[in-house]
Amino acid sequence: MSGRKESSTASDVHQHTPSVRELAAAASVFSLLADPTRLHLVWLLTRGESDVTALAAACGAARPAVSQHLAKLRLAELVQARKDGRHVVYALTDGHLRRLVVEAISHANHQVTGEPWHD
């Protein structure tokens, strides 16, 4: 034995029984994503970072409403913001959220289109 600690993969690290706090945090994420406009915004951000004007145009919501949704998502640390000149650019904070949203939309696509389920 070399004395080194064996490295774990990300999936190994996340294969545990969730605590009450983790379940509550996950439920909070689902609660925030339960709003169709916020879900649309997060889905748009799975494709890359964007500013409020572009996000508002892409989701068809008013710019002030999009700003309010993004503020909630930022407060929950689901998105991050950075200044780029006079614009504020938003991005997802992690790959977990990206994969969660893509899978949720894929699941919905199967429900809506009747495509067969798969792994």
- The boundaries of the domain holding residue 69 are 21-113
| pLDDT for position 15 | 85
| pLDDT for position 2 | 43
Instruction: Outline where DSSP puts E strands in the chain.
Output: 50-51, 79-84, 87-92
Query: How many independent structural domains does the chain possess?
Result: 1
In a domain, 57, yes or no: yes
**Contact (CB, 8 A) for 83 and 98:** no
pLDDT 10s digit of each residue in the chain, 119 long? 444 444 555 666 678 999 999 999 999 999 999 999 999 999 999 999 999 999 999 999 999 999 999 999 999 999 999 999 999 999 999 999 999 999 999 999 999 999 999 98
| pLDDT for position 9 | 58
Which residues neighbour 59 within 8 Å (Cβ) at sequence distance 6 or greater?
37, 40, 41, 44, 66
- In eight-state DSSP terms, residue 34 is T
| pLDDT for position 99 | 98
In a domain, 102, yes or no: yes
Q: How far apart are CA 81 and CA 55, in angstroms?
A: 13
**Number of other CB atoms surrounding residue 31 within 10 Å:** 11
For the domain that residue 69 is a member of, what is the CATH number? 1.10.10.10
Dig out the tokens for 26 from the structure: 């996950």
**Contact (CB, 8 A) for 76 and 29:** yes
In a domain, 2, yes or no: no
